[in-house]
A and B are shown apart, each in its own frame.
Chain A
Amino acid sequence: MKYIDEFQDPDLAARLLDDIRATVTRPWALMEVCGGQTHSIIRHGIDQLLPDEVELIHGPGCPVCVTPLEVIDKALEIASRPEVIFCSFGDMLRVPGSGRDLFQVRAEGGDVRVVYSPLDALRLAEENPDREVVFFGIGFETTAPPNAMTVHQARRRGIRNFSLLVSHVRVPPAIEAIMQSPDCRVQAFLAAGHVCSVMGTAEYPALAERFRVPIVVTGFEPLDVLEGVRRTVRQLERGEHTVDNAYPRAVPPEGNPAARAMLDDVFEVADRAWRGIGVIPDSGWRLSARYRDYDAEHRFQVGDITTLEPAECRSGEVLQGLLKPHECEAFGTTCTPRTPLGATMVSSEGACAAYYLYRRLDLPARPGSRPSPAGAPTAGGTTAVRVPNREDSSVV
């Protein structure tokens, strides 16, 4: 019970945990969708505080992690061109493409810049009319509206030397794909709070009904996660499967209508590849026909770059909850945040990196080869003894 002290309100955390313990009677597997939730869960040891019956499976909700290798390679190709100023969020700098990453492209003379907001990239385009400014538009429904607004502004203000390399993804089709996978073990979802701040909750009842799974909109602060788990377990034990909103302070049912309208104007739904998983139908957006001129893939003719993922990396299984990160043979040996084989080891929201940062010292020796089957103890279960490592101790 040591780590409960780290919660903002330890009493409330203890009460939520008591309630979950009192409710649960048999094993359940819940998937948290959002990478921010994964980070929070591992950092605070929430999975270890929960009763053994409640297993948290870490879903594909880190935008950096699911951006396909092919798109990274396109980004690297565009960023290497002398006329280009390539703008990105900081998280993408170290994501490995086939050979290098954006950090290296910059070291080799590429003009790569990190911006806080896509509007900063648009300003750069205005200030540098003789250069081509490209913004790397990745992310889920939370990040798509800012990028949509930026393209809209570029067109409205006649800024022609700006374009977007788009790799936006949507959560509901991913939930559908996970539920349709023959190996699926997921029995309920904690839906991503900030995605729902934009999109609202209207997309979820049909999914809950069709797959008979509870879907609980959940924030990513530790107490929010506990409350989401509590409500989910209650539904599971009662045999219910409805959409519930455990994060109403940031999620009105209708989301943000202005942002949704802009998404509909600037983007159109398209098939998207997810790194490690493959193509999921209708799972993302591309620029709609009216904005095609602002599509960097089109402008720089990189549409024919195709790349295969390294076979060694099992992030696809990790992202679908079929494997825990430390059960991958490369984890902590050939694959570390310094030498990542897969994107889930790069971003601190990726499950592999989160395990590496907060768990590698307390993990049991790696099981010889194959993952432990469902129900067997894992690091999230009873076998691991949690020892604070240096990252943790500097936090408290």
Chain B
Amino acid sequence: MCLAVPGRVLSVEDRDGTRMATVDFGGVVKEVCLEYLPDLRVGEYAIVHVGFALQRLDEESAHRTLELFENLGMLQEEFGDPWEQAAQAGDSDGLGREVQR
């Protein structure tokens, strides 16, 4: 749960007085709050945890991490359907999110 996933900023906007961005995580696009990294710009990478950018990251390490997460199915874990995963956990032999792949 403490997983923070690197993502790339696609666009930045001000919404209700809050700095928000759309961020691409290897194909999955999410809304992310930039209040803790207000000077993050379009094209830059940051590590994002539960919808908040927490630290800037250089492009190369961001790519490496995303590739690793992708290979390990961790992006699916982070962004997949949690109800399905929990249901699987209930009726399969292991944790749904692991066995499912």
Contact = CB atoms under 8 A, between A and B. Distances in A.
Contacts, number: 144
Contacts of B86: 90, 93-94, 103
Interface in A310-330: none
Given A140-B2, A337-B94, 16 more contacts: A36-B2, A89-B50, A90-B82, A93-B86, A103-B90, A116-B51, A117-B31, A118-B50, A119-B31, A139-B2, A337-B89, A338-B91, A348-B77, A349-B2, A356-B94, A395-B72
A114 B98 contact: no
Contacts of A337: 89, 94-95
Nearest to A197: B55
A249 interface: yes
Interface in A76-105: 89-91, 93-94, 103
A208 interface: no
B92 A145 contact: no
Contact of A94 (B52, B89, B94): B89
A149 interface: yes
Given A258-B38, A357-B95, A198 B2 contact: no
B97 A348 contact: yes
B11 interface: no
B14 interface: no
A271 interface: no
Nearest to A64: B1
Contacts of B64: 8, 221
Interface residues of B, number: 49
Contact of B36 (A89, A252, A258): A258
A117 B90 contact: no
Interface of A: 8, 34-36, 43, 61-64, 89-91, 93-94, 103, 114, 116-120, 139-140, 142-143, 145-146, 149, 153, 156-157, 192, 194-195, 197-198, 221, 249-252, 256, 258-259, 262, 336-338, 346-349, 353, 356-357, 390-391, 394-395
A30 B44 CA distance: 35
B71 A395 contact: yes
5 contacts: A63-B1, A89-B1, A357-B94, A357-B98, A395-B73
Nearest to B84: A90
Given A90-B85, A197-B55, A251-B55, A143 B36 contact: no
B10 interface: no
Q: Which of A117, A221, A336 has the most CB of B within 10 A?
A: A117
A194 B54 contact: yes
Nearest to B86: A93
B69 to A, nearest CB: 9
Nearest to A34: B2
B12 interface: no
B89 A142 contact: no
Contacts of A142: 2, 4, 49, 54
A361 to B, nearest CB: 11
B54 A198 contact: yes
Contacts of B38: 258
A195 to B, nearest CB: 7
A145 B52 contact: yes
Contacts of A103: 86-87, 90
Contacts of A256: 36-37, 54-55
Contacts of A250: 4, 47, 55, 57, 61
